[in-house]
Amino acid sequence: MGTSAAFLFLAKVFVMSRRCEITGVGPMVGHNVSHSNIKTKRRFMPNLVATKVQSESLGQSFSLRMTNAALRTLDFKGGLDAVLLKAKDEVLSAKALKIKRQVKAKLAEQKAA
């Protein structure tokens, strides 16, 4: 693995700044448009909030950085477990993926017993 590939791998694993850990929403790019229709580049940053979220099946709370829209989705869908189980693995952060695996294991254990 070359140095640039190793750096990209490390950046993917360890750094997920300005990105929602549940939905994967990150900065978007657009234009400021003046009255004279001159367009200049700008970035739309997601509204991230560091919160503690409770998992019902694990009986534990987790600290995650997520958007306010994701928080509203958690309330609507019925909690962290329901949202994680339906979320695709590609959009979840490493931390959220670890929680998802724990929830799946706990639910399988409860189903077997």
Segment 43-82, tens digit of pLDDT: 999 999 999 999 999 999 999 999 999 999 999 999 999 9
Which domain covers residue 64, as residue numbers? 17-112
- 65 phi and psi angles, rounded to 5 deg: -100, 115
| Within-domain flag for 10 | no
| Within-domain flag for 11 | no
| Within-domain flag for 80 | yes
- 61 phi and psi angles, rounded to 5 deg: -105, 145
User: Distance between CA 9 and CA 49 in Å, rounded?
Assistant: 26
| Within-domain flag for 42 | yes
Number of domains in the chain: 1
Mean of pLDDT values over 85-108? 95
Mean pLDDT of the chain: 89
| Within-domain flag for 82 | yes
User: Distance between CA 72 and CA 66 in Å, rounded?
Assistant: 10
pLDDT of residue 50: 95
pLDDT of residue 5: 55
Query: Which CATH number belongs to the domain containing residue 35 in this structure?
Result: 2.30.170.40
* pLDDT exceeds cutoff 80 at 113: no
* pLDDT exceeds cutoff 80 at 11: no
| Within-domain flag for 73 | yes
| Within-domain flag for 8 | no
* pLDDT exceeds cutoff 60 at 85: yes
| Within-domain flag for 4 | no
